[in-house]
Structure 1
Amino acid sequence: MKIKTRFAPSPTGYLHVGGARTALYSWLFARHLGGEFVLRIEDTDLERSTQEAIHAIMDGMNWLNLDWDEGPYYQTKRFDRYNAVIDEMLESGTAYKCYCSKERLEALREKQMEQGEKPRYDGRCRDSHEHHDDHEPCVVRFRNPQEGSVIFNDLIRGPIEFSNQELDDLIIRRTDGSPTYNFCVVIDDLDMEITHVIRGEDHINNTPRQINILKALGAQVPEYAHVSMILGDDGKKLSKRHGAVGVMQYRDDGFLPEALLNYLVRMGWSHGDQEIFSIDEMKQLFSLDAVSKSASAFNTEKLLWLNHHYINHLAPEYVATHLVWHIEQQGIDTRNGPQLADLVRLLGDRCKTLKEMAASCHYFYQDFEQFDADAAKKHLRLVAREPLEQVRAKLAALTQWTPESVHEAIQHTADELGVGMGKVGMPLRVAVTGAGQSPGLDVTVHAIGQSRSLARIDMALEFIAKRA
């Protein structure tokens, strides 16, 4: 049997992390078993579905590199197919027209709730032989079995059973002629030959209805696996109040896709005590057997730890391709300064996100007009003038500009003055970067360049003279 999975988001908002994890599990299951992965946009909710949300879903999938073999399919483009099947079901008797008014249904619902019963359609039109005008408004309902149970083996949760008496006759076509979500899903899974449906646990109650429709059509029923929800660190369902929940917000906040994928795969799945997984390892090792039934709690600190790992362990040239966007957001012109891959090497240890890296790299590319007030007050004092003058002379005399030669110039200055490296290094750091923190001083000064470093030392000496 050829394995085929699908990810089927509704385009009513961004691609959130819960959806992204479901997509990842579905994608990994297919890739692990050499199967195919389908992307389907379930846009039957015409009022809430937007083109903007479709773009957000596509952007998120592309950024995460979750590629699909078929699609994207759109349910709104398949209405003729759904309605053709509904017409066949009306002919065969597995569906029927219901002419009950909204008022009758609301009164029925209120009465059932008063009596402590579960609200459900009472089947009035199920076997009614009353003659109705063909033009009279009606919905079409699925004739759900009234006896027995629906039992399916959830690949994550084990056997699940629903009594058919708990399931009423589902509306499959509205009065305006549009098919309903639960019906469209069934026909899509049938037509697209989906073998495994991996989705969120909020769909468990839809599953028995969908299985009954598939059986009524004489179709093969796929396997189902329902993934638990993701909670915020306060134990409540993940939402906007927990910060970034849309996938592209993580891109904007400076995370690498590899870090988010690694984090998401571990939210409910494990392989021993291993924490770091490459994409290839995920595809090789993933199985639904190892997915937990329990809800997972989102931990931003853990994600930051993973992101820091990937910034420092992926090829700097690759990380730089993701850094470009953040550099552009900062409005930095990188033509005069280190290559971005070198910047990743310089700042990787210090930065947990690419956004942080872009925000802290200005001094490599742009001159500044003033020094950080606290750093200047502490380190650009009169006592720093002589060390700065001497190290400037040595840096100006260098014919080979390398991190090693820069280091030697700083060391020789300290040796000649009989002071510790910090007495030379800290004033020099503030002079060339404008602040009190940077990567190693030799690589920092080297990356800024000889002429700009000298000009900035002159600016610092002028600052000290004015201060004196």
Structure 2
Amino acid sequence: MLRFAPSPISDMSINNLRVAIFNYILSKQLNEQLLIRIEDIDKENNIEGKDKEILEILSLFSIDYSHVVYQSENLKYHQKLAMQLMSKKKAFSCFCGDDKLNELKDEAKKNGKPFKYDGFCETLSDETVLNVNAPFTVRMKKPEQNIKFVDGLKGDFDYTPLDIDSFIILKHDKTPTYDYACAVDDMLYDISTVIRDEKYTSNTPKQIYVRDTLNYSKNIDYIHLPTILDGQDDKNFVKWFIDEGFLPSAIANYLVLLGNKTPNEIFSLEEAIEWFDIKKLSKNSVTFDMDKLKFINKKHILTMDEMRLSKILGFADMDIGKLGKIFLEDSSTIKEIKLKIDLVFIPKSTCEGFEEEFVELKLCMQDAPFFDNFNQLENFITEKTGLKGENLLKPLTYILTGSNNNVNLSDIYPLIKNYLGEIVK
């Protein structure tokens, strides 16, 4: 079983979405289930409703999964196994307060060394521990040997006992820390492969150490993905891209393409399952290219069914879908297309530089019969008003499109002729 383990403390980032997509693809390739584990043990920072939003995003991207679990529901197992570790003298009670730990951190910083726990409470006798009436955390004993593992993308890693240290597994309130909860939960759900961001690489030996100490013998394969760089501020979140009019299919296409060699540049997630090889991904960090995403988004919109595009734009008319594709010539997102569509239907009161012609045209068109093509309409207007050339086309273009840009009205008119009464009112 594979797992995607988001935390409901913030919006889903593009990095997290990429992790979810790769977990989904591998689960299909390996014919294994995909579990969604909501890591909600950080109660103080959890945002209400964020878990539901995460699941909605996964649905939007057609990432299916077997079931959803919440990490906080496993608290009894976290505590039970911690007691087991303590009974075997593999973990110990630590009474060191924040002042003491900050003192050790300041001393390490002064000496230019990373902070390491000094092991003071590890040597306390059982009798002393029983007689101490103070809050305590539970720490793993520092390992005696190096912890090694092979990353499926980046190769061999080797961590010394000093790298791992005597880390906390239960906090003062007896809730689990991140590494300990992950290690236990991966055991509970029989996880076989963990795909996650490379920023968690140094967490892996701690999690392996917890499972080894609990005599869990199943090997878990790890793949740590290079981080996507240049995802600035709000543009790093999936919700921003969706709101800006990028299609989920295009975003997924780009994230699979990023740092990868693919047989085609434009593809669906279903097609990627057939040929994707996670071991061929670049081992280095990858830079997000907004222009590339826009190009891919444009390609996905172009291949979209016109009726579906129309519905996304707020209509149910194939002609509006076709109009959207015409407007795509100098646009790249649904939002940009919708703005152009909206301009067609907004009320227009005048046309700068052609104020008199605008009024005359509008009155003429309001009384005009229905015409099937633009040439017929143009001939009728010319006959009734005498307007020609720029005096006709400039204000007419503005009335029909809400824009002063040069466009081919012969292409646009057949797609909006059924709405003419609304457009020129």
Q: Say whether the fold is shared (TM-score over 0.5).
A: yes
Aligned equivalents of 1:454, 1:174: Cα separation in 2:
65
Are 1:182 and 2:179 counterparts?
A: yes
Aligned-partner residue type, residue 448 of structure 1: I
The Cα offsets for residues 398-428 of structure 1, whole Å up to 9 and x where unpaired, read as: 6xx43xx43455479999x9x9987754453
The Cα offsets for residues 95-151 of structure 1, whole Å up to 9 and x where unpaired, read as: 22223333333333333443443321122222432523365322111123223x111
Instruction: Identify if the C-alpha distance between structure 1 residues 57 and 451 changes in structure 2 by more than 3 Å, giving closer, same or farther.
Output: closer
Aligned equivalents of 1:320, 1:282: Cα separation in 2:
27
Please name the residue that 2:92 is paired with: 96
Aligned partner (choices 252, 257, 267) of residue 258 of structure 2: 267
Are 1:239 and 2:236 counterparts?
A: no
Give the Å deviation of 1:55.
3.4
The Cα offsets for residues 52-101 of structure 1, whole Å up to 9 and x where unpaired, read as: 43233223222222222221x11122211211111122222222222333
Please name the residue that 2:60 is paired with: 63
The Cα offsets for residues 151-187 of structure 1, whole Å up to 9 and x where unpaired, read as: 1111111111111232211111112211111110011
Are 1:144 and 2:142 counterparts?
A: yes
Please name the residue that 2:415 is paired with: 447
Contact kept, 8 Å, 2:147 with 2:161, in 1: the verdict is yes
Secondary structure of the residue aligned to 2:121 is: coil
Aligned equivalents of 1:49, 1:353: Cα separation in 2:
32
Aligned equivalents of 1:451, 1:60: Cα separation in 2:
35
Give the Å deviation of 1:301.
1.2
Aligned partner (choices 11, 22, 25) of residue 19 of structure 2: 22
Aligned equivalents of 1:156, 1:126: Cα separation in 2:
37
Contact kept, 8 Å, 1:211 with 1:221, in 2: the verdict is no
Figure out how many residues of one structure are paired with residues of the other and give that number: 422
Q: 1:244-255 counterparts in 2 under 5 A?
A: 244-255=235-246
Aligned partner (choices 261, 267, 272) of residue 282 of structure 1: 272
Instruction: Identify if the C-alpha distance between structure 1 residues 434 and 184 changes in structure 2 by more than 3 Å, giving closer, same or farther.
Output: closer
Aligned partner (choices 202, 226, 229) of residue 227 of structure 2: 229
Q: 1:301-340 counterparts in 2 under 5 A?
A: 301-324=291-314, 340=320
Give the Å deviation of 1:346.
4.5
Instruction: Identify if the C-alpha distance between structure 1 residues 407 and 119 changes in structure 2 by more than 3 Å, giving closer, same or farther.
Output: same
Give the Å deviation of 1:338.
7.1
Aligned-partner residue type, residue 216 of structure 1: T
Aligned equivalents of 2:304, 2:420: Cα separation in 1:
31
Please name the residue that 1:235 is paired with: none
Contact kept, 8 Å, 2:14 with 2:238, in 1: the verdict is yes
Instruction: Identify if the C-alpha distance between structure 1 residues 221 and 12 changes in structure 2 by more than 3 Å, giving closer, same or farther.
Output: same
C-alpha RMSD of matched pairs (Å): 3.3
Instruction: Identify if the C-alpha distance between structure 1 residues 420 and 448 changes in structure 2 by more than 3 Å, giving closer, same or farther.
Output: same
Aligned-partner residue type, residue 310 of structure 2: A
Which runs of 5 or more structure 1 residues have no equivalent in the other structure?
Answer: 233-237, 325-333, 460-468
Aligned-partner residue type, residue 189 of structure 2: M
The Cα offsets for residues 193-239 of structure 1, whole Å up to 9 and x where unpaired, read as: 1111111111011111111111111212311111111111xxxxx33
Give the Å deviation of 1:451.
8.1
Aligned-partner residue type, residue 124 of structure 1: F
Give the Å deviation of 1:11.
1.4
Contact kept, 8 Å, 1:432 with 1:453, in 2: the verdict is no
Are 1:373 and 2:352 counterparts?
A: yes
Q: 1:376-415 counterparts in 2 under 5 A?
A: 376=354, 396=368, 401-402=371-372, 405-407=373-375, 410=378
Contact kept, 8 Å, 2:320 with 2:415, in 1: the verdict is no
Please name the residue that 2:401 is paired with: 433
Aligned equivalents of 2:395, 2:5: Cα separation in 1:
58
Instruction: Identify if the C-alpha distance between structure 1 residues 421 and 64 changes in structure 2 by more than 3 Å, giving closer, same or farther.
Output: farther
Are 1:161 and 2:158 counterparts?
A: yes
Please name the residue that 1:298 is paired with: 288
Which runs of 5 or more structure 2 residues have no equivalent in the other structure?
Answer: none
Instruction: Identify if the C-alpha distance between structure 1 residues 424 and 44 changes in structure 2 by more than 3 Å, giving closer, same or farther.
Output: same
Q: 1:409-424 counterparts in 2 under 5 A?
A: 410=378
Aligned-partner residue type, residue 278 of structure 2: L
> What TM-score do you get using the length of structure 1 for normalisation?
0.80
Please name the residue that 1:464 is paired with: none
Secondary structure of the residue aligned to 1:51 is: coil
